[in-house]
Structure 1
């Protein structure tokens, strides 16, 4: 992954979501439309979580995988309750996932 871009937290490419924001991961399946590279796990698509922090802006790996120019996009740590993701999860357990902003929407 390329180095973070500090502009993601200081203007131009400012992150849309702040720590504590409730977000939903888009229930999108681009792999059904053709070849693609996706870093967003299947098990969180359509699920709601909480932004823990912004990690900076990074070149979009969905474009880099195909040697296309890649715009830098904000990347977040998003926290999910584990039990809705895996039913055998214990109450109170959580899963933290790195999710790019274009996969997130307000919940």
Structure 2
């Protein structure tokens, strides 16, 4: 299972993890939704696990990325080192370019 075009997000790209307001078996924790991070790396293409968990969408391909987020961006009262980060694996349908959101807010 793969795509014929290269992945849209390259390492170093700033992305927003959007809130799709999905209930049930999803792979994006609530605390990371609507936060901005940096693509650490592209992880390949997989069947959509959110659909598979409910027996839907066999064969639907989604891209997986590792996203690095600053801990102080996740938790405003974070008292650790300013360089502390958390990495999450996030599928592409949960991601948008950071500047797309900025343009929508203007």
Match of 1:94 among 85, 96, 100: 85
Output the TM-score relative to the length of structure 2: 0.81
Q: In structure 1, what is the Cα distance between the partners aligned to 2:62 and 2:52?
A: 12
Q: In structure 2, what is the Cα distance between the partners aligned to 1:58 and 1:28?
A: 19
The answer to whether structure 1 residue 26 and structure 2 residue 18 are counterparts is yes
Q: In structure 2, what is the Cα distance between the partners aligned to 1:69 and 1:46?
A: 26
Q: Give the match's secondary structure for 1:40.
A: coil
Moved segments of 4+, more than 2 Å:
86-90
C-alpha RMSD of the superposition:
1.4
The answer to whether structure 1 residue 47 and structure 2 residue 43 are counterparts is no
Match of 1:63 in 2: 51
The answer to whether structure 1 residue 73 and structure 2 residue 65 are counterparts is no
Q: CA deviation at 1:17?
A: 0.7
Q: Give the match's secondary structure for 2:50.
A: helix
Q: In structure 2, what is the Cα distance between the partners aligned to 1:65 and 1:18?
A: 28
Mean CA deviation greater in 95-104 or 60-69: 60-69
Output the TM-score relative to the length of structure 1: 0.81
What 5-or-longer segments of structure 2 have no aligned partner?
Answer: 99-106
Match of 1:83 among 46, 67, 72: 72
Match of 2:104 in 1: none
